[in-house]
């Protein structure tokens, strides 16, 4: 009977990868000294009576390393897009040029860089917690399987598999954090 009991490590890995994808998305929205279209993704515009992502009301481009442009399709929404950017907390002052909104990305000062590295570390810790929660679910599956007749050797094998997967994913989180912090601190 114990040969039939297996733990679905593919599902655990998929869920852990979901935490990594979420972390990458959060890192993408962190403003470094460089312009990125991902910076404006979280900004919502009150368009046509409902909150709408910026990329659904205009084209977001990065024409140069320190500039993001948004070409708003509907002239009536230009003011609302500008207002949404000002109120977003990005710390960017939009400049209007017809239906094009330019977002010059200012240099980050040392204090702001340190704050952003702390925010990045918090995002990474949230991802680690999510991965550990998936690990706990995997270990619970192993315990349930032991109650269903899994041998101690198989239990040890599956616990080691789940832990190995967890360690690998935590390592990826740490690597991503180091890379993001280096990018933020780069002058």
Dump pLDDT digits (tens) for 20-77.
999 988 887 776 667 778 888 878 898 888 998 988 999 999 998 889 999 999 899 9
Dump pLDDT digits (tens) for 89-129.
777 889 998 889 999 887 778 888 888 888 899 999 999 99
Q: Residue 44 is part of a domain; what is its CATH number?
A: 3.30.1360.40
Q: Residue 125 is part of a domain; what is its CATH number?
A: 1.10.132.20
Q: What is the pTM of this model?
A: 0.69
Last residue of a domain, one of 104, 120, 135: 104
Closest CA to 7 of 150, 170, 169, 168: 150
Domain count, the chain: 2
Residue 3 is assigned to a structural domain of this protein: no
- C-alpha 163/C-alpha 168 separation (Å) is 9
User: Is residue 26 located within the same domain as residue 116?
Assistant: yes
Domain that holds residue 72: 37-104
Residue 149 is assigned to a structural domain of this protein: yes
Last residue of a domain, one of 104, 131, 152: 104
User: Is residue 120 located within the same domain as residue 163?
Assistant: yes
User: Is residue 133 located within the same domain as residue 175?
Assistant: yes
């Amino acid at each position: 009977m114990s040969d039939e009991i297996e733990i679905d490590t593919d599902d655990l890995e998929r869920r852990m990868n979901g935490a990594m994808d979420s972390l990458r998305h959060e890192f993408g929205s962190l403003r470094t000294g460089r312009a990125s279209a991902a910076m404006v993704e979280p900004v919502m515009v009150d368009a046509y009576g409902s909150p709408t992502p910026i990329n659904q009301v205009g084209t977001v481009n990065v024409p140069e390393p320190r500039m993001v442009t948004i070409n708003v399709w509907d002239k009536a929404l230009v003011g609302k897009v500008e207002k949404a950017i000002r109120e977003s907390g990005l710390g960017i002052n939009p400049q209007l040029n017809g239906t094009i909104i330019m977002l010059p990305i200012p240099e980050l000062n040392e204090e702001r860089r340190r704050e952003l590295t702390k925010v990045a570390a918090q995002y990474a810790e949230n991802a680690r917690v999510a991965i550990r929660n998936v690990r706990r679910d995997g270990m619970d599956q192993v315990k349930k399987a032991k109650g269903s007749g899994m041998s101690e050797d198989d239990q040890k094998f599956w616990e080691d598999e789940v832990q190995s997967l967890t360690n690998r994913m935590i390592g990826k989180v740490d690597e991503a954090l180091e890379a993001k912090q280096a990018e933020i601190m780069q002058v």
